[in-house]
Structure 1
């Protein structure tokens, strides 16, 4: 009789746990469906997973095709792992990342003592809160893999099959949500390109043609009058209109660059020609960059050449491009008038903040080396 009661109680406990897991999965699914920003979505999903289970800490790596990893989200990390911007989690070897890169990690798995956690305990005086082992599961959608979800609990070296199954279900939901956001971003990018093309056509067909007409009118005015004062006025109108026409053509080219399909170097040479700049280019390495990095680099170089034309007082510019296995380095240099570095805050018209914002959007940096009457160098580093 006692045995039957124990069996029944066990069944009820299992059923209660299953109901709890289903409710958690439903809550996480609803949250994932509402979010549109990647990092916010990952952090929120990780937080809900920890709140609804016995897992107490977790972190998510994104890992690209080259094996480069990025700690994209984490929750409730012990102080030893949080130290120095989570340096211990991001550096050194790791079984889970190695298995992921080798295609050997296909489902949720218990991990033996983690090398990175062990290293943090040996080198840090901070508390590690009893975290020694973790479970890991790949984040993927179909055959497309994005990274890893890792979770841990103090003083726990192994998780049950039920806990690993739940972790796998959550990872499947997160992987699908990642894919949805990636596709949405791609659609937005396509829409942005289409809008740029439309605006470029409108500018070319309307404003550009009007400016060209004003130029011709001013030229006719110069020939029709004998009064020097009026001639000078028409000449000034012609000059200003021609400058505006050059600016407009450069703007249209920025919106819809011709020649970029032949590579970033050819594209930049074409833009320099439009601005009337003599561009010399030096390249080290093979140019094979992701589309987003190439466009960011292209836009920053455009802005830098705009600055040379408008503010340097010279029409010669040098461009140095170096591609390494992890970064692309760009230097844009002129021998013009330069400026004092303490003037940076007041030089918004130079587009310096725009360049910095573009670089930061892809985790890159932009710096300047300049001195009055000694030219300017713009230094760009973008990881990829």
Structure 2
């Protein structure tokens, strides 16, 4: 075994240990890439994740020259390139020398910083079995082609990264399944205990109204009945939030059913084909829930309109009411818990949440989520 072979084995071992220990995707990939670059002749590298629609997203990078890191890596984040096109066409099967790179060429042509002799790069797909995640690109100064041995080492590292990415995805899926199971358990417990107790109190109050002869006592029982009925509505809404019944029948059916439960008349307008990942679907449903709750509690109306527009890259949801509206405290810039929850949910999937509201003229909530 040559010294170089021993060195490569050491690098692969160190990278394997890091990939096995790390549980967060981005730190894991950045750490593995850094170790790889520090232990080989490769000097810089970057990783794209590419979704089912072929959209590339820059996930991690290390030791980029000024020309490529300029303005938050703008030339790596935009435009097309040969390696991504080959990946999309399912033509990128193994580590390959790239003859030219449009992204690097564009950065050099604009003369926005030193490119440190980086003009070409090698590329390799990141995958686990038949499941593909993206590509790893690496480069060195004044190098237009890498040796077979270097490409073999690159393939080995890519294989390790692909397996680790798959592991994290599986772990995340298991966590999401466990979370759903726990939500279902809580929903069952609330329905079987607190919900039934509140229903019993409502029946008892109704009986008290009928049996009481004193008007003052009747009014007390009526107040108990109204408060308990309100608590029941809140409890049912909470159970819905824990376990969204009807979502399996489609997003719009679930939103309509939730609005009906809150006694809100909902008008629905749809443009485009409603077909996106389950995470986006649940996010839209949770946001619609929160918006409808806000309308019931604060708007003073029982009607709302929802507009859903789906394009090839994102979905726009608008929820509008003609209620009392509100004005934000611009000096304190404080959001209600409901609005903050909506904003956080949209942000968690890379989307945005905005609203327009005026006293006496209602509120319009605008949600845009990429998918």
Q: TM-score, normalised by structure 1?
A: 0.94
Pick one of 229, 244, 265 that aligns with 1:257: 244
Following the alignment from structure 1 to structure 2, what is the Cα–Cα distance between the partners of residues 305 and 83? 44
Q: Does 1:348 align with 2:331?
A: no
Q: CA deviation at 1:43?
A: 1.1
Provide the rounded CA distance (Å) in 2 between the counterparts of 1:359 and 1:182.
21
Partner Cα distance (1:48, 1:255) in 2? 43
Q: Using the alignment, how far apart are the partners of 2:112 and 2:244 within structure 1?
A: 54
Q: Cα offset for 1:300? A: 0.9
Q: 78, 91, 99: which one pairs with 2:86?
A: 99
Identify the residue that residue 314 of structure 2 maps to in structure 1: 327
Instruction: Give, in whole Å, the separation in 2 of the partners of 1:362 and 1:30.
Output: 30
Deviation of 1:213 (Å):
0.9
Mapped pair 1:293 → 2:280: yes
1:157 aligns with 2:106: no
Question: Normalising by the residue count of structure 2, what TM-score does the alignment of the two structures yield?
Answer: 0.97
1:25 aligns with 2:12: yes
Q: Which residue of 2 aligns with 1:357?
A: 344
Taking the aligned partners of 1:124 and 1:250, their CA distance within structure 2 comes to 58
CA offset digits 1:208-259 (Å, max 9, x no partner): 0010111111112222222222222211111111001001111112222222
* 1:101 Cα deviation from its structure 2 partner: 0.7
Q: Which residue of 1 aligns with 2:71?
A: 84
Mapping 1:153-302, distance limit 5 Å = 153-302=140-289
Alpha-carbon shift at residue 345 of structure 1 (Å): 3.7
SS in 2 for 1:176: helix
Structure 2 Cα separation of the partners of residues 347 and 219 of structure 1: 39
Structure 1 distance, partners of 2:281, 2:21, is 31
Question: 2:44·2:139 contact (CA, 8 Å) conserved in 1?
Answer: yes
User: Residue 113 of structure 1 corresponds to which residue in structure 2?
Assistant: 100
- Asked if 1 retains the 8 angstrom alpha-carbon contact of 2:328 and 2:335, the reply is no
CA positional deviation for 1:323: 0.5
Deviations 1:89-121 (A, max 9, x none): 121120000001111111111111211111011
Match status 1:123 vs 2:110:
yes
1:341/1:371 contact within 8 Å kept: no
Match of 2:135 in 1: 148
Contact 1:330 1:380 in 2 (8 A): yes
SS at match of 2:343: helix
Cα distance per residue 1:47-99 (max 9 Å; x no partner): 11111112111110000111011111111112221222212112112000000
Matched, 1:38 2:10: no
Unaligned stretches of 5+ residues in structure 1: 1-13
Secondary structure of 1:342 counterpart: coil
SS of corresponding position for 1:147: strand
Distance 2:217 2:51 in 1: 65
* C-alpha distance in structure 2 between counterparts of 1:231 and 1:222, whole Å: 5
2:356 to 339, 364, 369: 369
Structure 2 SS opposite 1:346: coil
Q: Which has the higher helix share?
A: 1
Take 2:73 and 2:361, find their aligned partners in 1: how far apart are those partners? 41
Root-mean-square deviation (Å): 1.3
SS in 1 for 2:92: coil
Alpha-carbon distance in 2 for matches of 1:230, 1:130: 89
Contact (CA 8 Å) 2:70, 2:112: kept in 1 or not? no
Deviations 1:270-297 (A, max 9, x none): 0001111000000000111111111111
